Structure 1
Amino acid sequence: MASTIQALPTEVVYLITAGEVIDSLASVVRELVENSLDAGATRIVISLWPQQWRIRVADNGCGLSLEDLQKAATAHSTSKIHSSEDLWKIKSLGFRGEALHSLTTLADLEIFSRSTHSTEGWRVMYGNNGEVTQVDVAAIAPGTVVTVANLFANCPGRRQGLPPTAQQLKSVQGIIQQIALCHPHVTYQVWQNDREWFTIYPAPTVGKLIPQILTQVRQGDLEEINLPVPHPQSSTITNSSLKVVIGLPDRCHRHRPDWVKVAINGRIINSPELEQTILSAFHRTLPRDRYPVCFLHLLISPDQINWNRNPAKTEIYLHELTYWQEQITQAINQALRLSETNLKESVHTTRVSQLLKAAEEKGTYKFNSQKPDSQTQHYVTAVAQVSNTYIVAEHPGGMWLVEQHIAHERVLFEQLCDSWQLIPVEPPIILYQLSNNQVEQLQRIGLDIEPFGEQLWAIRKIPAMLQQREDCADAILELSRGGDLQTAQVAVACRSAIRNGTPMTLPEMQKLLDDWQRTRNPRTCPHGRPIYLSLEESALSRFFRRHWVIGKSHGI
């Protein structure tokens, strides 16, 4: 079999960003695991002996021929690029040709490998600068085993400058988890001092893998979508895709933005611009000082990426940045919406309605048996109102309790964001003893305010939603106390939304549910409170023990 590894031309070496690629245990693990993935491995075993500064990575990938093994640790040698043009068509995780060579200058390197096209394997030892010092025939299954020993033995200052062992191991765990998010179809088994430490099992999608990493998050807390994305220069080329997994904001969020993760073409990257795009898409869906769970994976044409920003390949230059930011915002908005496709699929039953009818006999529920217009298709159907506060809604997968005030608040808030309408008011609203800051605040959000006498101010233009409210003056006073325009919009929406304790007819409830379902962020109010409580049909079935088989004599 012909060799695929060759030394890079000098001009290509100069084009590649110079810098250290091996600076810790975690960086060794990252480089070796990425090589395993490039080799097509579906099972990777990482073994660590931190006190001995030894790491071993074994995989079931395609393996290397003897000819390739003899070149593998030569400086700037790689099978993944061959010319300067290839730097703009990179599809592999490794491509610089630096990792193995760097390891030979910092540690003892041994590689066992057998190509899938060969009947025999080889063991190769490397000396300083990547020179082969020993070659032996070895019995090995197809794949590769790389052992790095005595890491930084010739750089004692490097060892002393590294964090404590526990912190380094935490970094290794983080690296493996990041790689697993991008490549969920692979088994990752990690050993520490000859004992199994943790295993990440393969999953069909990253959304099904995340609960292995974030153990407090359940599968039902996540929404996952995968969208084709046109090339920015063409509306017809769709060789790109956008995978988004979000934690539903009414179910899970974080104290820190540590789970806003961005990956491009199989690698987690640091991208402040894209991370801020994600945070902005979740604005006014989470409680104050809380952050979303979001994993974003862009699979795009290599010509849109320049990897030569950082030798660790964790920072990139992304062409057409604004275009990709728009695509990300649209994808997250789609994942946050309620639709027939992301309601839990199940056979429609009338059991929930029967349950409500049974409860009605006690007289504590205002159950309305009136049916909606048969020509109107509703994902969620209003069936009752509880305590003049909660709307009982039925859908094919079970039932929801929707709090009417905050559902309406979400509807009004998004309407205000789309159209902040100020209208003249006559006679004007008169306010007394406003400070200069309060006057400036009202002017900042567009209200028409002017002096009306000593310590008196006349408001001649107000938000349209406040016009009919008896507490309009109190609402404007609240707006004067600070915050940006969106804060004012939240306050107006809250003031204007239907109050809890207000009776509603069935058509009014249905209209509110329909408007609410069409909002961009229907799961939480602008303050981050959950709007609905879901009672799935399967949960009701378990509660009422409908799986019990008691016997026909009991009428079941």
Structure 2
Amino acid sequence: MSFGIRALPKEVVNLIAAGEVIDSLAAVVRELVENALDAGATRIAVSVWSEQWRVRVADNGMGMDLGDLQQAATAHSTSKIRTSDDLWKITSLGFRGEALHSLVALADLEILSRQTPNLEGWRVRYNSEGEPAQVDACAIAPGTVVTVSNLFGNWPVRRKGLPSVAQQLKAIQTTIQQIALCHPRVTWQVQQNERPWFSLSAGITTQHILPQILRQVRQTDLQYLCVEIPTPETGGGEDFPGQNPVSKIPNSLIQIVLGLPDRCHRRRPDWVKVATNRRLVRSPELEQTILAATSRTCPRDRYPICFLHLQICPSLIDWNRHPAKAEIYLHSLSYWQEQASRAIEQALRISPTQASEANQSQRVTTLLKVSEEKAGYNVSRSIQPTSEEAEKTQKSGEIGLIELRAVAQVHNMYIVAEHPTGMWLVEQHIAHERVLYEQLCDRWQLVPLEPPAILSHLTPAQVEQLQRLGLEIEPFGEQLWAVRNAPDLLTKREDCAAALLELSLGGDLQTAQVATACRSAIRNGTPLSLHQMQTLLDQWTRTRHPRTCPHGRPIYLALEESSLARFFRRHWVIGKSHGI
């Protein structure tokens, strides 16, 4: 919502979280940029002179008329809210009316602005009380230019307590990049001391912005997903006293940009980020949800790249918690955690929509047939998944899964699979490991061992570890122990005792499940029939996290038809190259 700029009533001011919002150059940039975005800007230019403690932000937003300019820097003046009820339906980035008034007390403030219908703009300089000290007509394009100079000029002790110039510049860059993630359709031009510093081009989604920030990440390394979900009904309560009685509200959106774990990950969880209604916020609960949902997909001691953006009804959010609005109260938090987990699981799946479309898959089929004539394998192309498997898939209601067809096995290690956009090499051991791991997570079933497995020379810690996992273990003689039950998958293996010994070496239940899956998966070097390969592919593509094994290793290598065409240079005009 937007009104003319007016001073807020005293009863509304008393409800607003107090606290100074201007504590650095980065805070100045943040407040001015948010005002520009609230004004509908699609192009924002930021200029910084760190040595002069000066910042200028220019935008192409709706601009202000003279009346609004004269009121803009007075205390608690804003166009975003009017009454206390508006605090529970905030749709703008700013609403308190404190930023510009704080700036005039700490720096010199000048604003030039022109509204689109008007033929002239105005320049206003303000005194330390936020009142216009000088008003002039000026020529300016539609939009607003705000200049803050000599920040903390009258507070030299405050300047000395701030971080170094390099640290402040880094904070400014981070601030702009974080805001850009939430506003992908905005173009940014940033200068430092009149020289270009960095820029961000507008995109359709955050998937187009993130590679401009993380240079080592390509757009194809990221998966974008937008899911519409029902919004839970809510009403007034102690946490949200301004809400109306229970009412139905529109559906919400969850947008996710997720780094595919087989392509990119980080050494630290510094790119697990959460935004709510176009603002990056600190949400430890949702960040932990992301980490939990992507666990056992990245390599050890590596973390995912994930940007989660919730767009939900404003009545479910209380922004009035933190002076910089970096923390919020989110109603129905457990519901949003559950929906975020489901969305991440969906983003990690392999489906036809995530693979590049190809019009001529027949070219790959021809390539494989030619290879067969000169290689050491031949397979029957008439074999298809059994009707029983197809019926099972149909009954389960699983749709949108990628179609893979097993065609060969290489070195008894890799399955060659054909699909509509090319062919894949699937590593059979770790694909099976992923299948077994998720089965174990869903059904950790301990069954009796007949006869029991005998282990020797166990330490008290090993015995305690097996008991912690639910295994029945008892002394069986001098330095011998009998284990009378075990995970179902291990009971059928000859190396069951060795596997149980491995489980005794430590780790939680999840670690034990990983070890069990790895021990039980088919080994590389095992020959498979075409039917067995197809069954494994079908099971693997239905897993929740098919891109990597529980240890974080990539499971498949994609050879897309377009890449094959480039490699074999099928775009060449052979006749011309031979002078025909």
Structure 2 length-normalised TM: 0.93
Looking at structure 2, the residues matched to 554 and 373 of structure 1 have their Cα atoms a distance apart, in angstroms, of 46
Q: Which residue of 2 aligns with 1:531?
A: 555
Q: Does 1:488 align with 2:512?
A: yes
Secondary structure at 2:371 match in 1 = helix
Q: Which residue of 1 aligns with 2:168?
A: 168
Q: Which residue of 1 aligns with 2:156?
A: 156
Is the 2:385–2:531 Cα contact (8 Å) retained in structure 1? no
1:13-412 paired onto structure 2 within 5 Å = 13-233=13-233, 238-365=250-377, 367-373=379-385, 376=390, 379-412=403-436
Q: Which residue of 1 aligns with 2:523?
A: 499
Partner AA of 1:71 in structure 2: Q
Is the 2:465–2:505 Cα contact (8 Å) retained in structure 1? yes
Looking at structure 1, the residues matched to 531 and 355 of structure 2 have their Cα atoms a distance apart, in angstroms, of 22
Q: Which residue of 2 aligns with 1:450?
A: 474
Q: Which residue of 2 aligns with 1:479?
A: 503
Looking at structure 2, the residues matched to 102 and 417 of structure 1 have their Cα atoms a distance apart, in angstroms, of 54
Looking at structure 2, the residues matched to 14 and 519 of structure 1 have their Cα atoms a distance apart, in angstroms, of 53
Is the 2:411–2:525 Cα contact (8 Å) retained in structure 1? yes
* 286-295 vs 338-347, greater mean Cα deviation: 338-347
Aligned residues: 555
Partner AA of 1:10 in structure 2: K
Distance 1:391 1:236, change over 3 A: farther
Is the 2:185–2:202 Cα contact (8 Å) retained in structure 1? yes
Is the 1:411–1:519 Cα contact (8 Å) retained in structure 2? yes
Partner AA of 1:291 in structure 2: Y
Looking at structure 2, the residues matched to 481 and 3 of structure 1 have their Cα atoms a distance apart, in angstroms, of 66
Secondary structure at 1:46 match in 2 = strand
Q: Which residue of 1 aligns with 2:241?
A: none
Q: Which residue of 2 aligns with 1:516?
A: 540
Partner AA of 1:354 in structure 2: T
Looking at structure 2, the residues matched to 368 and 208 of structure 1 have their Cα atoms a distance apart, in angstroms, of 43
Q: Does 1:465 align with 2:489?
A: yes
Q: Which residue of 2 aligns with 1:435?
A: 459
Looking at structure 1, the residues matched to 526 and 277 of structure 2 have their Cα atoms a distance apart, in angstroms, of 52
Q: Which residue of 1 aligns with 2:396?
A: none
> Gaps spanning 5+ residues in structure 2: where?
235-246, 394-401
Looking at structure 2, the residues matched to 3 and 34 of structure 1 have their Cα atoms a distance apart, in angstroms, of 17
Secondary structure at 2:19 match in 1 = coil
Looking at structure 1, the residues matched to 508 and 540 of structure 2 have their Cα atoms a distance apart, in angstroms, of 25
Is the 1:450–1:459 Cα contact (8 Å) retained in structure 2? yes
Looking at structure 2, the residues matched to 91 and 68 of structure 1 have their Cα atoms a distance apart, in angstroms, of 20
Looking at structure 1, the residues matched to 384 and 151 of structure 2 have their Cα atoms a distance apart, in angstroms, of 72
Looking at structure 2, the residues matched to 472 and 412 of structure 1 have their Cα atoms a distance apart, in angstroms, of 16
Measured after TM superposition, the shift of residue 141 of structure 1 is: 1.3
Q: Deviations over 1:188-229 (max 9, x none)?
A: 100111111111010011112211111111111110010112
Looking at structure 2, the residues matched to 222 and 555 of structure 1 have their Cα atoms a distance apart, in angstroms, of 44
Structure 1 length-normalised TM: 0.97
Looking at structure 2, the residues matched to 160 and 250 of structure 1 have their Cα atoms a distance apart, in angstroms, of 46
Partner AA of 1:56 in structure 2: R
Looking at structure 2, the residues matched to 423 and 160 of structure 1 have their Cα atoms a distance apart, in angstroms, of 68
Is the 1:112–1:124 Cα contact (8 Å) retained in structure 2? yes
Measured after TM superposition, the shift of residue 369 of structure 1 is: 3.2
Q: Does 1:544 align with 2:556?
A: no
Is the 1:107–1:153 Cα contact (8 Å) retained in structure 2? yes
Is the 2:109–2:148 Cα contact (8 Å) retained in structure 1? yes
Partner AA of 2:479 in structure 1: Q
Q: Deviations over 1:503-545 (max 9, x none)?
A: 1111110110010000000000000000001111111010000
Q: Deviations over 1:207-252 (max 9, x none)?
A: 1221111111111111001011211128985431010000000000
Structural RMSD (CA): 1.8
Measured after TM superposition, the shift of residue 549 of structure 1 is: 1.0
Measured after TM superposition, the shift of residue 322 of structure 1 is: 0.2
Secondary structure at 1:482 match in 2 = coil
Measured after TM superposition, the shift of residue 354 of structure 1 is: 2.5
Secondary structure at 1:361 match in 2 = helix
Is the 2:59–2:144 Cα contact (8 Å) retained in structure 1? yes
Measured after TM superposition, the shift of residue 350 of structure 1 is: 2.4
Looking at structure 2, the residues matched to 458 and 236 of structure 1 have their Cα atoms a distance apart, in angstroms, of 60
Measured after TM superposition, the shift of residue 63 of structure 1 is: 0.4
Q: Which residue of 1 aligns with 2:243?
A: none
Distance 1:392 1:3, change over 3 A: closer
Looking at structure 2, the residues matched to 351 and 374 of structure 1 have their Cα atoms a distance apart, in angstroms, of 26
Is the 2:406–2:534 Cα contact (8 Å) retained in structure 1? yes
Distance 1:3 1:301, change over 3 A: closer
Q: Which residue of 2 aligns with 1:421?
A: 445
Looking at structure 2, the residues matched to 332 and 553 of structure 1 have their Cα atoms a distance apart, in angstroms, of 49
Q: Deviations over 1:229-280 (max 9, x none)?
A: 2111289854310100000000000011111111000111111111111001
Is the 2:53–2:150 Cα contact (8 Å) retained in structure 1? yes
Measured after TM superposition, the shift of residue 554 of structure 1 is: 7.8
Is the 1:447–1:461 Cα contact (8 Å) retained in structure 2? yes
Secondary structure at 1:32 match in 2 = helix
Looking at structure 1, the residues matched to 37 and 251 of structure 2 have their Cα atoms a distance apart, in angstroms, of 22
Distance 1:553 1:272, change over 3 A: closer
Is the 1:366–1:385 Cα contact (8 Å) retained in structure 2? no
Measured after TM superposition, the shift of residue 355 of structure 1 is: 2.3
Looking at structure 1, the residues matched to 211 and 119 of structure 2 have their Cα atoms a distance apart, in angstroms, of 40
Looking at structure 2, the residues matched to 56 and 195 of structure 1 have their Cα atoms a distance apart, in angstroms, of 13
* 354-363 vs 90-99, greater mean Cα deviation: 354-363
Secondary structure at 2:166 match in 1 = helix
Secondary structure at 2:483 match in 1 = strand
Looking at structure 2, the residues matched to 346 and 185 of structure 1 have their Cα atoms a distance apart, in angstroms, of 29
Partner AA of 2:69 in structure 1: L
Partner AA of 1:351 in structure 2: R
Measured after TM superposition, the shift of residue 360 of structure 1 is: 2.6
Measured after TM superposition, the shift of residue 392 of structure 1 is: 0.5
Looking at structure 2, the residues matched to 317 and 424 of structure 1 have their Cα atoms a distance apart, in angstroms, of 49
Looking at structure 2, the residues matched to 236 and 526 of structure 1 have their Cα atoms a distance apart, in angstroms, of 41
Distance 1:239 1:117, change over 3 A: farther
* 528-537 vs 362-371, greater mean Cα deviation: 362-371
